[in-house]
Amino acid sequence: MVENGTQPVQLDRGFWMITALLAVLAVASIVFWYVFPLENYLPAAIVTARQVDALFRFMSATGSALYIFVAGYLIYFAIAYRVRPGDGPDAIGVQIHDNPKLEFWWTIIPLLFVLVLSVVSVRIWYEILLEPENGLVVEAIGHQFEFTFRYPQINGEVTDEMHLPLNVPVTLNLTSSDVIHGFWVPAMRLKNDTVPGLVTSIRFTPRLPGRYPIICTQFCGVLHSQMDKQVLVIEDKASFDRWYRAEQQRNARVSNAIPGTGTVAIASGDANAGKQLFAQKCTACHKIAPFDQTLVGPGLKGVLHDPSHPNLVNGKAADPADVAGILQNGYVGSMGAMPNASANGLSDQDIANLVAYLNTLK
């Protein structure tokens, strides 16, 4: 509808010519994004990286086409309906409102776009979540200012490089010993934050041998910019096995306990301090409830006193010394990953305090 009963504005030949030009440019941008050799510049190192690339191409193509039309029409209308030399100082443009056809199309087109984008995104994310769980389990720990890596049956922590075997499913558990870091390998297309006291996991299958940079994406301190020196090495199984055996031999005399942490003096624990610490560090994963009431890990009420309570996740009896050992060294098993003392930011006294508090839960 046009205000004041004036004649409707007619779309002239110039409008349709600019529309045709914008359509050609939009189609060209869509073709560009779908033929651009992305993997020549950023290899797809894991199986699901290509699915992420497909989503990236779809978003880039549709976003570019939409931008071309929006920016093109803005420029065209700014020129076609600019102020003319003969217009008075109070002149205003044509006032148009209540155009049902226009409102219908500017509602339905974005709606359809969002629906399609949602379906594509959910399908790709679902494929990523369905990556196999069996295979190699590795833990990556963020520090100021590097990542360290823990492997099954390798004592201590591996630095500098993270090695993974080709075509073997990997579960990567991520945590931090100090502040929030962001673990990102561009060639994987996956990124997760590493959070103190919390373990998050990503699953993937390496598909392309090579050396790929590992980058921290969260500002984590004054030397954050140096956290791009480490690399992910994807190699064939034989090469990985040789590296793995060499690391086992090199770290054979290294204690698997956290560096700087000795035997915990359990008797020195303060239950009140442990209760406060439990609320800060442990409630994200554990309830003060029976064993079968899991949150992330099992309930811990009566863990040291309930005769029906099963053994700890490492198969040992639920006694103060063994609980302290898990808090100190962490554990990765069928129930998930328990962060070690370094990842949780726990001192020897903190561990003693937590054990003292758990010992009061009867």
Q: Encode pLDDT of 132-169 as tens digits.
A: 667 888 889 998 889 999 888 887 788 889 999 999 99
Q: Encode pLDDT of 299-355 as tens digits.
A: 888 888 877 777 777 777 778 888 888 888 777 665 666 777 766 767 888 888 888
At 246, is the secondary structure helix, strand, or coil?
A: helix
- In one-letter notation, the amino acid at residue 279 is A
Q: Quick one: pLDDT at residue 332?
A: 66
Query: In CATH, which superfamily holds the domain spanning 266-358?
Result: Cytochrome c-like domain (1.10.760.10)
Mean pLDDT value across the chain: 83
Distance CA 290, CA 361 (A): 11
- DSSP 8-state assignment for residue 343: H
Ranking 9-13, 44-48, 55-59, 261-265 by mean pLDDT, the lowest is 261-265
Ranking 47-56, 219-228, 232-241, 258-267 by mean pLDDT, the lowest is 258-267
From the options 1.10.287.90, 3.30.1340.30, 2.30.110.10, 1.10.230.10, give the CATH code of 3-129.
Answer: 1.10.287.90
Ranking 4-18, 21-35, 243-257 by mean pLDDT, the lowest is 4-18
Q: Quick one: pLDDT at residue 6?
A: 53
Q: Which fold has domain 136-250?
A: Immunoglobulin-like (2.60.40)
Q: In the chain, list all ranges with CATH 1.10.287.90.
A: 3-129
Q: Please name which of 304, 355, 302 lies closest in space to residue 327, comparing C-alpha atoms.
A: 355
Q: Quick one: pLDDT at residue 1?
A: 46
- DSSP 8-state assignment for residue 144: T
Q: In the chain, list all ranges with CATH 2.60.40.420.
A: 136-250
Q: Quick one: pLDDT at residue 337?
A: 66
Distance CA 269, CA 360 (A): 12
Q: Please name which of 312, 335, 334, 337 lies closest in space to residue 325, comparing C-alpha atoms.
A: 312
Confidence class for position 216, pLDDT limits 50, 70, 90: very high
If you write DSSP's letter for every residue of 8-77 in order, what string do you get?
A: PPP--HHHHHHHHHHHHHHHHHHHHHHHS-HHHHS---BTTHHHHHHHHHHHHHHHHHHHHHHHHHHHHH
Long-range contacts of 100-103 (CB under 8 A, 24+ apart): none
Q: Encode pLDDT of 84-94 as tens digits.
A: 887 777 877 66
Tokens of 54: 């497909």
Pairing of strands 231-235, 336-338: unpaired
Q: Quick one: pLDDT at residue 213?
A: 94
H runs (alpha helix) in the chain: 13-35, 38-41, 49-80, 100-129, 237-250, 271-281, 320-329, 341-344, 348-358
Backbone angles phi, psi at 257, to 5 degrees: -70, 165
Mean pLDDT, residues 29-35: 94
Q: Quick one: pLDDT at residue 18?
A: 92
Terminal-to-terminal C-alpha distance of the chain: 76
Distance CA 164, CA 235 (A): 7
- In one-letter notation, the amino acid at residue 95 is Q
Q: Quick one: pLDDT at residue 257?
A: 47
Ranking 102-111, 271-280, 292-301 by mean pLDDT, the lowest is 292-301
